[in-house]
Structure 1
Amino acid sequence: MTLDQLKTGSSGIIISVGGSGALRRRLLDMGLTPNTKVYIRKVAPLGDPIELHLRSYELTIRREDAANIEIDEVVDG
């Protein structure tokens, strides 16, 4: 599953960050690294961008970029 497929209010653990070159480096520099827990806070009305909560801060990324991040969904219960 990729980050863009996660529903609002759900959490996941990053498995790997895809992409190449500058895109991959930018995602990693923003804190989207393997074994990081991310929570989907909000999605814009038209579906893009996505607001995430990770590492005690909020981050907004494009859905296209989120599709490069592979995750395992965490079931809270």
Structure 2
Amino acid sequence: MKLTELPRRAAALVEAVDDLMPNDAIARRLRELGFVNGERVEVMAAGPFSAEPLLVQIGYTRFALRRAEAARVRVVPEAA
């Protein structure tokens, strides 16, 4: 599932970040920020207009991501 499909406050683990083209700068930056395989991620909140941006927490850090950026992150729900 994509990060944009994850329900709010539900924990998941990052599976991968999809590259849309070779040497994709946005995908590379997401990985540099910590969106790497096995990291715990959670969607904390969404903005008021078209649910944009998404407030995402990875580790102890929170980021505001556009939905287009968050859609590149594949996650698997964390086992309860």
TM-score, normalising length from structure 2?
0.86
Match of 2:25 in 1: 22
Match of 1:41 in 2: 44
**Cα separation, 1, equivalents of 2:45 and 2:79:** 18
Query: SS of the counterpart of 2:27?
Result: helix
RMSD (Å), alpha carbons: 1.2
- What runs of 5+ residues in structure 2 fail to find an aligned partner? none
Post-superposition, which runs of at least 4 consecutive aligned residues in structure 1 deviate over 2 A?
A: none
Match of 2:70 in 1: 66
Match of 1:32 in 2: 35
Structure 1 residue 23: Cα displacement: 1.3
**Cα separation, 1, equivalents of 2:74 and 2:63:** 17
- What runs of 5+ residues in structure 1 fail to find an aligned partner? none
* % identity of equivalent residues: 21
